[in-house]
Amino acid sequence: MSTNDLYLAVYIGSKTSPRMAAWMALPEAERKAKEIEGVKAWKGWVEKHHSVIVEMGGPLGKTTKIDANGATDVTNQLTGFTLVRAPSQAAAAKLFENHPHFANFPGEGVEVMPVLPIPAG
C-alpha cells in the first residue's frame, strides 16, 4: 500500500457550539438514549466500512501545543480521527457522508485529507 491512497479523517466539534449546547440541554434520559442509538450507528458504520479502515483511531483528549516557547495547553476542534484507504479524496470523503459523529452526536463535521509521502531528499 502506498501512502497515496491513505486519508486521515479528523472529527471536529466544539464544547461551546450550538449543537453541543442543545445536546447538553436534553434531559439526561433522552441524551443517554441518543448516545446508545449513536453508538449503534457508529458500530454499523465501522462494520459497513471495515475493509477500508486502516486505523480506527479514536477520541482525542486534552491538547498540548509545543513550540519554540515551550508547552502550552490549548483548545481546538479536533475530537477524534480515523485512517482509511480509498482510491481518491472524493471517495474517502463519501465514506463519511451522514456519519454518526454529526448525524447522531453533536459533532460538527469530519475533515478528510490525504496522507502525503515524505519528500525524498
Banded pLDDT at 1 (limits 50, 70, 90):
very low
Measured in degrees and rounded to the nearest 5, phi and psi for residue 60 equal: -110, 145
Q: pTM of the prediction? A: 0.89
Three cell numbers at 97? 457522508
Domains located in the chain, CATH noted: 3-114 (3.30.70.1060)
Pseudo-torsion of CA 66, 70, 74, 79, nearest 10°? 20
pLDDT tens-digit readout, 40-79: 999 999 999 999 999 999 999 999 999 999 999 999 999 9
